[in-house]
Amino acid sequence: MITQAPRGTYDATPNENATFRSDVLHRLEDHFFAVMARYGYGEVRTPMFEHTELFSRTSGDTSEVVNKQMYSFTDKGDRSVTLKPEGTAPAVRAYLDAKLGAQGGVTRLCYQTAIFRYERPQKGRYRQAHQFGLELFGSGQPDADAEIIEATIEFYRAIGLRDTVVLLNCIGRAESRARFREALATYLAPWLPDQSEEIKMLADRNPLRLFDQKDPKVNEFMAGAPVVTDHLEDASRAHFDTLQALLTEAGVGYELRPEIVRGLDYYTDTVFEVHSTLLGAQGALCGGGRYDNLVKEVGGPATPGVGVGMGVERAYIVLEAQGDLPPMPGLNAFVVAATEDAWPTVRTLCRALRKAGLSVQYDVEGKNLKGQMKQADRMRAQWAVILGTDELAAGQATIKNLATGEQRQVPQSDIAATVGA
RNA sequence: GCGGAUAUAGCUCAGGGGUUAGAGCGCCUCACUGUGGCUGAGGAGGUCGUGGGUUCAAGACCCAUUAUCCGCCCCA
């Protein structure tokens, strides 16, 4: 079936029952960049693909994303390249390549990008998905973490999402995490031999995930397990405490969740997700956190950073589940020829109205008056502007409000003002 | 990568081996020849996801395949 989009991808189209309406996606983008402009974030656009090493080095080779989800291929120059599975590592690379941090201080970047992961698709999970992202380089202060989270919430408010919750955790630095893993391993040791292969593998590969299992028996056992936040260094502890105070001050509600650990290995200290109950199994709207070793890892000077990646489709799905998708956009006016002699004037008037900034169409199918009126209705035009022999003679036009049905005659020169109001 | 469900008109769905496959909505025409929406009357539109098979006969049953959805896993 050559007409269907590849598995896990979709076409966004401007029609009412599209899976994703392109006009809505466009609105989300507008809101995102408008909000981020108010926070002073500048847009960075990075390539669709990167050297594979950028991701394998930074995301960690035990991570699921790098392990089996990357769209990697060898190009004709025998280089291994990968369609980007996430936005942060490329943003870091671009930040370094363009020497944005050369003057010191803080650099704030935002982006909108497609991401690719070879996964089994379901609702809210695609092989090509899209993310809005923020990265803040050059500050290790909790104020930076707070700003990222606050800006994220601000975006969700701007597009009208309700009932979202910020899930917050602090996973510490390498040393404290090692200490914690040790404590956890000690706790798991007597219990593990009786568990399923799956649990054993998880305990070996990514033990923090054990905090986030569906099995109630596992949860019961894990309730008594040591918690990451009990093993934090003083600096991490203080950072986390201050961040919470800042969020409270900002009026951003949050829940502490020791099971939030994130799938990418580069995070240090702060990690967070925003969830919505309306998303089903794919509960996360966005995920982010602090990555104080990442810039150095990519080859730059040691530079702290914090960022977030927000799922565009997931925001859309929640908006739709709320019943809050905006109505399909319509024209300001549809200009109608009531008599054959009016066509030249119809065309000139359309040009004038468009020049005045209005969205305007006229019939290009050779329809009669009734057909044109019908078309005006179908295009959700606010006004029908009707021109016929009578109007031409008087230098006027009949304008009809298609919502109320009222109509009146106005001078042709006044139409832009009336229709645009 | 694992388990389960689904695929029939533009959309939402009914039909469960046997004449020309149905409904609602949408679309087209007419009533309404300078006026959309409402109403009424007509009408068009489907190789029943695709490829095989069983059968005298398949949209229905079987196998494969593709896609979507749900759960697991993972996460955006």
Output A396 or A215, whichever has higher pLDDT. Answer: A396
Residue closest to B72 C1′ by Cα: A214
The gap between the terminal CA atoms of chain A, to the nearest Å, is 48
Beta-strand ranges (E) seen in A159-229 are 164-170
The sheet carrying A164-170 orders its strands as A42-43, A107-116, A128-137, A305-311, A284-290, A270-276, A164-170, A254-256
How far in angstroms lies nucleotide B38's C1' from the CA of residue A4?
Answer: 39
* pLDDT above 70 for A327: yes
How far in angstroms lies nucleotide B2's C1' from the CA of residue A196?
Answer: 15
Chain B positions with any atom < 7 A from a protein CB: 1-2, 11-12, 27-30, 32-37, 49-50, 66-76
Residue closest to B71 C1′ by Cα: A281
What 3-state DSSP class applies to A389?
A: helix
Arithmetic mean of pLDDT, A92-103: 96
CA distance linking residue A404 with residue A402, whole number of Å: 6
Taking CA atoms, A169 is separated from A39, A141, A166, A262, A271, in Å, by 24, 16, 10, 10, 5
Residue closest to B50 C1′ by Cα: A1
How far in angstroms lies nucleotide B20's C1' from the CA of residue A1?
Answer: 30
CA distance linking residue A181 with residue A421, whole number of Å: 64
Output A219 or A270, whichever has higher pLDDT. Answer: A270
Closest nt to residue A133, judged CA to C1'? B76
Burial A127-150 (b: 16+ CB within 10 A, else e): bbbbbbbbbbbbbbbbebbbbbbb
Residue closest to B51 C1′ by Cα: A1
Residue closest to B70 C1′ by Cα: A122
Mean pLDDT of chain A: 91
Over residues A301-321, the pLDDT tens digits come to 999 999 999 999 999 999 998
Closest nt to residue A397, judged CA to C1'? B34
Over residues A364-380, the pLDDT tens digits come to 988 999 999 999 999 99
In this prediction, residue A65 has a pLDDT band, given cuts at 50, 70 and 90, of: low
* pLDDT above 60 for A1: no
How far in angstroms lies nucleotide B62's C1' from the CA of residue A208?
Answer: 47
CA distance linking residue A127 with residue A73, whole number of Å: 16
Q: Which pLDDT score is estimated for A53?
A: 92
* Residue A187 neighbours by CB under 8 Å, 6+ apart: A224, A225, A226
In this prediction, residue A348 has a pLDDT band, given cuts at 50, 70 and 90, of: very high
How far in angstroms lies nucleotide B56's C1' from the CA of residue A347?
Answer: 66
In this prediction, residue A220 has a pLDDT band, given cuts at 50, 70 and 90, of: confident
Over residues A141-187, the pLDDT tens digits come to 999 999 999 999 999 999 999 888 999 999 998 888 888 888 888 88
In this prediction, residue A299 has a pLDDT band, given cuts at 50, 70 and 90, of: very high
Q: Which domains does chain A have, with CATH numbers?
A: 22-173+233-321 (3.30.930.10), 333-420 (3.40.50.800)
